Structure formats: structure tokens, C-alpha cells
Amino acid sequence: MRTATAPPRIDPESRRVELRPSATAMVWLAPDRPHEAVAFVTVRLAPGDVLVEIELATICGSDVHTVHGDRSAPAPLVLGHEQLGRVVELGTGGPRALDGSLLAVGDRVLWSIAASCGSCDRCAGGLPQKCRSLRKYGHERMSDAWALSGGFATHAHVVAGTPIIRLPEDVPAAVLAPASCGTATAWAALAAAEAVRPLAGADVLISGAGLIGLTAAAMTTDRGAVVTLVEPDPARRALAERFGARARRPEEEGGEFDVVLEASGARAAVGSALARAAVGGVVVLVGSVFPTEPVPLDPERVVRGLLTVRGVHNYTPEHLAAASAYLVDRWQAWPFAGLVGETVALADLDEGIRRASGGAVRVGVSPIAPH
């Protein structure tokens, strides 16, 4: 294991924290290369920053795409952006949770995938996830100022400008960890649809039984919709039935739907989603977060069908808060606890990536070796 020290920022109010024992991060260096364990003995917390000891992280599909070189990413990099943990150190200035309350050492928290400035034109326009100076967890090249920037580590340096959600103690970590990506993105996708038409009583088609699709099926069913979910994998189809959907193979797909949510990113599925929307319907594209060939679009069908096509990437702080509250309220009504099928130790991250590549909805990563 290499040892690295994060030097202080040029900030007279930053607070130097010694880490005893040292923090460990699994560092990604290049596609299909093993992660390297790197130790950090200090971190400097600027005003508003928080240091969190990670309880559990989960491996998202985008982590798998990055590791295998299917999407570009800077290196060296600490991957991981779905996690929760416990506050162990606070920067000056009284860091606060999203609800405005002061954070304290010992609080159990999760946080957004990104930190935003709150003052640029995009932030002011309601698009903080596209902030001009966005800082994104699990996506940023390691730097002296921000080394513990991803979830595949023992600790995370949560910087000022990051929405932080305080969590109850009685909800399992496996339920809550995916909230900061998959769950919040599902909520944002449904919010995009509801901006066009109500979900209550709607016929909804979801493509893809990954975490976003399964979560959206439960959320949409809870709002009174009739949900059909299309998925080629039989095990995933069986799982979709447990989340309230009528599961179908792609070749069985037919009819028109008021709302179509494409969560797989597969090129054929995107084309099918655009073809299945009823007159006045809304198509929400959320799964296309990696390069693929362009999909043909029939503009006459969009115009004459009065269709709305929305793209959703990440989410707002309000979406994260609502999604987290939804999990706290409904985790026992739907089998969310089973979506993290197995957990590996942090040191075995590469094995966890291998298992996630094999089709698991989510694989957990624990800084403490699972029993």
C-alpha cells in the first residue's frame, strides 16, 4: 500500500485533520487494471467541509463502465458515488444538512453525487447538477486538495456545496446506499414525467430492470400507475414483478403508453421507447449515459403525436431529499433490501467489480470485511 498526504489548500481557515488510523482509498489508474490501495494520513477541511467514515458503498453500472474503459474518466481516480456513512470531523463554519440543521459528529448521512456553487446561471436556473464549477464524487481526478473524493474508500471528504441528508439508524445500509445515484435519479425521471402529465391512472412502460428501473416501478405503482417493465433477463423480470410491474420480454412489448421511461441505455430500447408513446405521451430517457450509435427520430411522429421527450441526468437536491425519504418510508413495502445481493471488502473491490459486471443489480463494498 502506498501512502499519500493531502497538502493544505490555500485557505487560512482550513482545518488540518490527522487520520489515525490512516484512511484508505482504492485508486483506479487505467481501464482493466487492478485498483491500488493508497493510504492518506491527513486531510484538510475547508469551511463547510465534512469528513465521513463510510459505512457501505455500492457499485453502480457507471463504475463498471469506467473500469472497463467504456466511458472516459480522468486518472488517478477514486470511483464510487453511492454510499453512506457517519460524520467524524467537521470543518469550520458550522456545516449543515440539506434541511438547514447543523451537522454533528456521529450523524449518519448520505450525500449528493455532486457539489455545486449555488450562484452560476445553471444553479440559479434550477440545474445545479450542471453547475459551471461542478465537483462530482467518484468522477474527479485525485488532487492534493481533494483526494478522498469517491466512495470506494474508508472515508470521504464531503466538500462545501454538497447536499447532505441525515439518516435514521433503523434503515439498513444496503437500502440507503444507492439513494445518491440510482434512487434519486429514478425520482428525478418520474418528476420529469409528472411535469407533463399525472402518473395516477397512467399506463407506464419502463425499459430495463436495473436499479433505476426497479425503483421507478415501485415508485410509479405507489402513485397509482399501471406499470409494464420490459427486460430480456428472466431473473430480472421475476424481480420486476416483486416491484409492482407486469414484466415482459422485449419481443412481447406492444401497445402504446402514456409514459415511457427508458432506463437501460440500450440503443434498440431507446428506439422502441420513442415508438411506444401514445398521443400526448411523454418519453423520459435516463439510461443513455455511455457512448452509443445515434438513434433515428421521426420528427413528424413527435409533432403529430404531441409527444414530449425529456432527458434526465442526475438530479436536484430536492430529488435526493424526496428519494431518501421515500426509501425510509417504503423500504419494507418493496424488496429494496435485496437489491444489494452481496458485499465484498474494500480490499476486494476488483472482485466486486467482476461480480457487478456479471449482472448483479448492486454489489456492496464495505470498509470492514463482511462476515
Domain boundary among 311, 329, 357: 311
Residue 371 lies in a domain: no
Helices 211-222 + 234-242 axis angle, to 10: 30
The percent helix, strand, coil of the chain (3-state, each to 5) is 30, 30, 45
pLDDT one-digit tens code per residue, 24-51 = 999 999 998 999 999 999 999 999 999 9
Of 255, 259, 181, 250, nearest in space to 223 by CA = 259
CA atoms within 13 A on the CB side of 21: 6
Clarify whether residues 13 and 131 are in a common domain: yes
User: Using CA atoms, how far apart are residues 371 and 101, in angstroms rounded to an integer?
Assistant: 36
- Exposed/middle/buried for residue 231 (C-beta within 10 Å: 0-12, 13-18, 19+): buried
Domain boundary among 293, 311, 329: 311
Residue 165 lies in a domain: yes
Determine the longest span between alpha carbons in the chain, in angstroms: 65
Range in 2-6, 200-204, 216-220 with the lowest mean pLDDT: 2-6
Q: Where would I find the H helices in 68-176?
A: 121-124, 173-176
Beta carbons of 31 and 67 less than 8 angstroms apart: yes
Clarify whether residues 10 and 132 are in a common domain: yes
| 304 pLDDT above the threshold of 90 | yes
Domain boundary among 269, 290, 311: 311
- Which amino acid is it at 172? P
CB atoms near residue 226 (< 10 Å): 16
Of 178, 263, 143, nearest in space to 212 by CA = 263
From residue 114, alpha-carbon distances to 16, 50, 124, 139 in Å are: 23, 14, 16, 9
Percent of the chain with pLDDT over 90: 90
pLDDT one-digit tens code per residue, 255-299 = 999 999 999 999 999 999 999 999 999 999 999 988 889 999 999
Clarify whether residues 307 and 324 are in a common domain: no
Beta carbons of 138 and 158 less than 8 angstroms apart: no
From residue 215, alpha-carbon distances to 40, 263, 283, 339, 358 in Å are: 36, 11, 17, 10, 20
Clarify whether residues 90 and 132 are in a common domain: yes
Residues comprising the chain, all counted:
371
Range in 3-7, 84-88, 148-152, 296-300 with the lowest mean pLDDT: 3-7
Look up the domain containing 202 and give its range: 185-311
Q: Give the pLDDT mean for 11-20.
A: 84
Edge-to-edge strand ranges of the sheet holding 246-248: 246-248, 226-230, 203-207, 257-262, 277-285, 308-311
The pLDDT score that the predictor gives to residue 370 is 64
The pLDDT score that the predictor gives to residue 338 is 96
Percent of the chain with pLDDT over 70: 96
User: Using CA atoms, how far apart are residues 123 and 79, in angstroms rounded to an integer?
Assistant: 25
- Exposed/middle/buried for residue 256 (C-beta within 10 Å: 0-12, 13-18, 19+): middle
Cα pseudo-dihedral 184, 186, 192, 193, rounded to 10: -150
Q: What average pLDDT is seen over the chain?
A: 94
The domain that holds 256 is classified in CATH as 3.40.50.720
User: Using CA atoms, how far apart are residues 26 and 34, in angstroms rounded to an integer?
Assistant: 9
Clarify whether residues 68 and 41 are in a common domain: yes
| 150 pLDDT above the threshold of 90 | yes
Clarify whether residues 148 and 279 are in a common domain: no
Residue 111 lies in a domain: yes
Clarify whether residues 162 and 130 are in a common domain: yes
Residue 263 lies in a domain: yes
Distance from the Cα of residue 245 to its chain's centroid: 22
Hunting for cell 470531523 — which residue is that?
89
Give the total number of structural domains in the chain. 2
